[in-house]
Structure 1
Amino acid sequence: MAQVKVIEQIDAVGLKELAQKAEKQPENYKLVSKATTVCKGGFLNYTYVRDLNPVVIDEPCHLFGSNSTPNPSEHVLASLGACLAVGYMANATSMGIPLEELRLELEGDIDISPVWGVAETPDDRVAGFTEIRVKAFVEGNFTHEQKKVMQENVIKWSPVANTIRNNVNLIATLNSEK
């Protein structure tokens, strides 16, 4: 019988300890995430997070970019996919089930007709995704009930899914350093 290949797991003990600490002191787990975006010319932008290499974002050629990297909306899909994948891995680890496959396919319907506020567009039109569809391929030695619980947890507790699903206060200011 062929041995089943599994995906590298995360630290189950560390995950359990983190969950216990968060349960006891949830106020210590409300963080501020920060990023700084710098335009390098045209629609090419570098976004810096912590001390990591920049996340490079551009637009495709038909939207006046150089098609060198994913655009901002595609990064939203990528962020959602990665966040959901983290949730699947965490839940599988918590259940003690090694994953054999974890792959998510995402697609979204998006309205870009307002052209970043440049086109004359009715005020009731909203730019952005109107629907995002996610197909998750998660394989491991799960029972039907375990898969159901995992799916519910992942969708309910994903920070990125909740950011997309819920209204979020967005406060934007225009500052001049000169």
Structure 2
Amino acid sequence: MSDEIAPEDLDVASVCEGGNLDCGSGLLLLIRRSMQEVPAGLTLEIRSTERSVREDLPAWCRMTENPYLGWSEGGETLRFFVRRGGEDEQASEEEQVQRARDHRWTCRVAWSGGLQTTVYARNHSWQVGQPASFDVSDEAPSAVEHLLGALGSCLAMGYQVHASRRGVRIDQLEISLTGEIDNILVFLGLESDGHPGFRRITGTCYVQSEAGEAALEEIWRHTVAASPLVNTLVRSVEVEVGHRGIA
């Protein structure tokens, strides 16, 4: 861990509000974008409540040749200081930002026998049950429940991230979602009218915070507007899944 304390008389050109993000969950992208607004040789201040940044940020600075100037305490928030490198580093930063735009997320799904599949994504795997289940309990959540859960998780984590970047502390947060499928009997082959997809998803975000209602509402509006899953569901998405036999 780097214990290099930053000088007190640093002239900061710009501030990057990282909230509770760490270097592996988007903070470096924010830093790269903020660096583009800082002239070479001047200093960027980075703020984060995640203490692991003390260890990870100096390593990133060494790799990108942006001199690390140290850190200081700022209450619950840690302040880190990085001097902007030269134009070669600027080109590299822009390439990294473009790489993030072009990134593709992938997974692999294998039938596990019976009415279950196993999903593999990066270093994770999890079980998914049949899409249409009306039982009170099952061995694994259904595919539609995974979709609802993914949507709720996306909104919950997005809310926390956007709140932390505004300096708003969230004490408790819970999201309740309900999905109405147009006609699940189409999936079962029992009817042909309608479609077996969600026609409506409703829900409520319950949040406990000392912040005012207006501030929390603004964070929520931004969270919904910036949610990858909300945008996926409300926009037309091109889906192309081919079929290939295995000899």
Segments ≥4 residues shifted beyond 6 Å: none
AA paired with 1:135?
Answer: T
AA paired with 2:32?
Answer: K
Structure 1: 5+ residue runs without aligned partners?
A: 1-8
Measured after TM superposition, the shift of residue 17 of structure 1 is 4.7
Picking from 48, 54, 58, the partner of 2:129 is: 58
Deviations 1:101-142 (A, max 9, x none): 1111111111311025x33404xx221111111210112122
Measured after TM superposition, the shift of residue 157 of structure 1 is 0.7
The two structures have a TM-score, normalised by structure 2, of 0.60
Deviations 1:73-117 (A, max 9, x none): 00000000000011111111111122111111111111311025x
Show the counterpart of 1:164. 233
Aligned in 2, Cα 1:130/1:22: closer, same or farther, shift over 3 Å? Answer: farther
After TM superposition, list the pairs within 5 Å mapping 1:7-156 onto structure 2. Answer: 10-11=20-21, 17-22=28-33, 25=94, 26-30=97-101, 31-52=103-124, 54-59=125-130, 67-110=138-181, 111-116=183-188, 118-122=189-193, 125-156=194-225
AA paired with 2:209?
Answer: G
Q: Check conservation: 2:132, 2:142, Cα contact below 8 A.
A: no
AA paired with 2:118?
Answer: Y
Measured after TM superposition, the shift of residue 34 of structure 1 is 0.7
Rounded Cα–Cα distance in structure 1 between residues aligned with 2:131 and 2:147 = 15
Measured after TM superposition, the shift of residue 33 of structure 1 is 0.6
Aligned residue for 1:82, secondary structure, equals: helix
Q: Check conservation: 1:40, 1:46, Cα contact below 8 A.
A: yes
Higher relative contact order (CA 8 A, sep 6+): 1
Question: Number of residues paired by the alignment?
Answer: 165
Rounded Cα–Cα distance in structure 2 between residues aligned with 1:86 and 1:15 = 13
Rounded Cα–Cα distance in structure 1 between residues aligned with 2:219 and 2:197 = 29
AA paired with 1:154?
Answer: T
Aligned residue for 1:113, secondary structure, equals: helix
Structure with the higher helix share, 1 or 2? 1
The two structures have a TM-score, normalised by structure 1, of 0.81
Aligned residue for 2:106, secondary structure, equals: coil
Q: Check conservation: 1:60, 1:67, Cα contact below 8 A.
A: no
Aligned residue for 1:174, secondary structure, equals: coil
Rounded Cα–Cα distance in structure 1 between residues aligned with 2:167 and 2:159 = 12
Aligned residue for 1:149, secondary structure, equals: helix
Aligned residue for 2:179, secondary structure, equals: strand
Rounded Cα–Cα distance in structure 2 between residues aligned with 1:93 and 1:74 = 28
Measured after TM superposition, the shift of residue 40 of structure 1 is 1.1
Q: Larger radius of gyration, structure 1 or 2?
A: 2
Aligned in 2, Cα 1:60/1:115: closer, same or farther, shift over 3 Å? Answer: closer
